[in-house]
Amino acid sequence: MAKSIMLQGTMSNVGKSYLTAALCRILRQDGFSVAPFKSQNMALNSFITPDGMEIGRAQALQAEAAGLEPSALMNPILLKPTTDVGSQVIVNGQVRGNMRAAEYFRRKKELIPDILSAYEQLASEHDIIVIEGAGSPVELNLKADDIVNMGLAELVRSPVLLVGDIDRGGVFAQLIGTLELLEKSERDMVRGLVVNKFRGDISLFRDGISILEERSHKKVAGVVPFINCDIEDEDSLSEKLTARIRGGVIDIAVIRLPKISNFTDLDVFSQYDGVSVRYVTRASELGAPDLIIIPGTKSTIADMKWLKENGLADDIKLCFSRGVPIFGICGGYQIMGRTISDPLGSECGGSIGGLGLMDCTTVFGSEKTQTQVTGRFGDIEGFFSCLSGAGFYGYEVHMGETENAGAVLTDRGGSYNGNAAGCYVHGIFDSADVSGRLVRALYHRRGLTYGGRSVDRREYRNAQLDLLAENVRIAIDMELIYRIIEEGV
């Protein structure tokens, strides 16, 4: 059976996901067979495994760091919020149904056998399991039925590293306060502390380390600097969603839908000099971009209604009439059509008119499409003719089925109409051929020439994981980490 180490955080977005990825890569580099595990994830950024199972995007990235194909074993429970009080519940990669939060909390202990079965299978196949917690382990009103933080650590007898985010301030209160709120048996499982996202001269924090160790009676396993590497975010708290980036030669405006999903589809453009990506939430922010992208959403009808109510729908159509190219992915593709209907209430029910930029209609049913894909763009007219014949890879994950009466975009479906195009493929821009052609066409549209090189997103991501691991290895006491793993609890 594998040994394990678990990363828990003092709050959401302290960097647990990328530290888990870093440890997976470091342990792999050191010759171990290592796998990531997160018992329960709540995220709208998901991924489809080679066998068609749906898991959190972070676990797919961590699997890549570990040199493995992603598997539903790595994330047996995925919650995808559909409203503020309800989620689609995915167990072992397949939809179990929609549940209100209160119902899920009543029933989630029923999922412990699924969690343990997945963990035990992983543990039988690998040397070390790196486990990621979720949020904070001391949400006292929810703690009794915990299956993702200390509850899981106790179930699988895993030692814990507690991670605090110094960049957000109050790291002493974060770490020491969290420990104080744990039961003694839980505190005993915490074998080390990590101070994450430190900016500036780390030598100035020596007294801070001493204070933490004296007050907590725990070793500080490392002070990790704010690492400048381009690792995909999963969390809705991602800074990229609120950054107001302007000033690039090419301005890409992404509509930040209330239930935006898989915004990692747009990360590829960060590889290109002179291209800026900004997320737009109101009509006054849209302006006159070079390209508009409408991304995926977990609640297409509700988000289409939001577009109409805040004026963005009219402004997007105005941009289209002026020749601005617009591309929709998954839910964004559905939004760009004529109508969207949900007769079975698969998401929120009802029917609504779309933007009407393409001649297609979408109807939601009870079956969910979950598959990895490869394909090729067809012979396209209009702005997106730049993509004609280009090969792509990615995955589809959606409830609706779209009937297209217009021109077909790719050999995997999709539609286009002049400067509007859309399809269901997440990761459609990730290949160097697709993103490179698109960026060069956007430059050409401005009368300019792009002189940089195109980079495949998978190759780029792999290099960034190496960079992350290199920096974390320097910052973390790996001798202590190995001792914690070996000793267990």
Catalytic residues: 330, 426
DSSP secondary structure letter of residue 232? P
Pairing relationship of beta strands 40-42 and 46-48 according to DSSP bridges: unpaired
Cβ atoms of residues 423 and 414 within 8 Å: yes
| Helix/strand/coil for 69 | coil
| CA–CA dist 238, 241 (Å, integer) | 6
Report the first-to-last Cα separation within the chain, whole angstroms: 15
* Residue 426: partners with Cβ closer than 8 Å, 6 or more residues away: 262, 265, 296, 329, 330, 394, 395, 396, 397
- The residue type at 1: M
Token representation of residue 473:
């290895």
| Helix/strand/coil for 55 | strand
Cβ atoms of residues 70 and 93 within 8 Å: no
Place of tokens 């290949």: 431
Nearest to 468 by CA among 21, 71, 135: 21
Token representation of residue 5:
């180490």
